[in-house]
Amino acid sequence: MSRKSNGFLSRGWRYLTDGTFSEVFETLVTEDKKADETIWEFDQHHFRTLRSEAFVTRKIDTYRDILKNPEKWRAFETENMNRYFDDAIILFPYELSQADKNGNKAKPNLEPPNRFFRIQQNMVKRRFPFGKNDTPGDADLRAHISALRYIYSKNFFSLIMKRRWLAVEYAGVGLGILAAHFVLTAAIWPALPLLGAEQMPSLGVLLTAILCFIALIAFLSTGRHTFHLFEVYKDEYEASMRASCLLLGRNLQVRQQDIIAMIPLIFTEADNDKFVLKGAGKLDKWPEEVRKWTKLAFWMAGRVEYNELATQLHMWRLRRLHFGLKWLATLLTKVMIFGGLFVLALLLWAFWLVALHLKGTWFTATHSWEALLLANAVVAAACAIFIWSIIRASDRKHPVELDLIENSIITQNIQGHKDVRLHDLVAQQLFREKSALLHEEEKSKR
């Protein structure tokens, strides 16, 4: 199998064709909605963070009340649980065009199919649509998982633009230092006669060297300050994302644990109903109660599995956003470096014209004019290195790693489908019942 190229342009082409850029564009052009204000807010650094909210999982008492009420159970079973149990896998997931006005049969829409993750997300929503407005389910939690992906893309893009804009500002400072150096050094020699130093070319060389040294120090100190601000922006971004991830991870962990812990209680409730109904003289209704409790247990296990699937889908999309945004950030960095060096070249050209004019008008010694050119060439080279370093550092220095999300959510502490062990619970329940049945049969033979 051939190895994919990891070049910058080849990665860009791959992101363009595999839907990464369309995912980035779709997310970035999405405007904030007023309804989102209940899910996230802006922190003091104008980064988005999830609002602190605890997701309360319904306890066994809630489901006992539903199960014991025939009307509530019928509605809950048909309108909620059966959306999961009765939903079939769509083998050909494409949309059908609408029938025409004459009622002719609709033909398949031959447009390319959706991305597979969208098919999976639609299946999750279709099978477990509830969980908001005081209804049993996990749509509230999934909304926050989706919101994390949204605020991640917005925050990461905001960080990219903050750091690039800072680089542009300080690259402009560097160009300003270079322009000021050009002006001052070009003005030294014409000003010497006014100072009574017409026969002192060495003084001009000395003053030019001093200005050159000052410019180099200015480049160095400005660069160090800019690198520090890049780190500050990164820390502010990571703090906002870490707070959101910790909040979401804790809520996801609690929700999954509460659902999983409820499943053994469901079988305990089913066993207890035998004695309750026997005492009430309604033991014949016990098999129906067991059927209800068992179906509820499988629905609970499905919730755990699909919460895990929904999280995986959004984290996969988040990963695509990460690599797509990083590529675009690097492209922007390259364009900015080219633009900064182009402006520097224009300044050099303008200074060269001025220097040629000064050579024939003011400079009597060739070595003095050469010293002027040499000093400004050194400062121009330093400015070019400064611009390249500053703009490149906005992309390379203090990088943001993707594992910040995984480490902050602390996924290893979140339980999932493998922790439900519903098959073991059902197998153990059947083992006990069959063993009791065999025991009764042996007793009847004696």
pLDDT in tens, 171-203: 888 888 888 878 887 777 666 655 555 455 566
Q: Which residue has the higher pLDDT, 281 or 359?
A: 281
What is the pLDDT, as a whole number, of residue 203? Answer: 65
User: Are 225 and 35 in contact, with CB atoms under 8 Å apart?
Assistant: no
Q: Please give the share of the chain, as a percent, with pLDDT higher than 70.
A: 87
Q: Which residue has the higher pLDDT, 93 or 273?
A: 273
Q: Which residue has the higher pLDDT, 275 or 359?
A: 275
| Confidence check: pLDDT of 121 > 80 | yes
pLDDT category of residue 331 using cuts at 50, 70 and 90: very high
Q: Kindly list the domain boundaries of the chain, sorted by start residue.
A: 21-62+134-439
What is the pLDDT, as a whole number, of residue 113? Answer: 65
| Confidence check: pLDDT of 270 > 50 | yes
Q: What span, in angstroms and rounded, lies between the C-alpha atoms of 237 and 39?
A: 18
Q: Which residue has the higher pLDDT, 324 or 118?
A: 324
Mean pLDDT of 199-209: 64
374-414 pLDDT, tens per residue?
Answer: 777 888 888 898 899 999 998 888 888 878 888 888 888 88
Q: What span, in angstroms and rounded, lies between the C-alpha atoms of 150 and 411?
A: 19
User: Are 336 and 168 in contact, with CB atoms under 8 Å apart?
Assistant: yes
DSSP 8-state class, residue 2: P
Mean pLDDT of 400-429: 87
Count CB atoms within 10 A of the CB of residue 250. Answer: 17
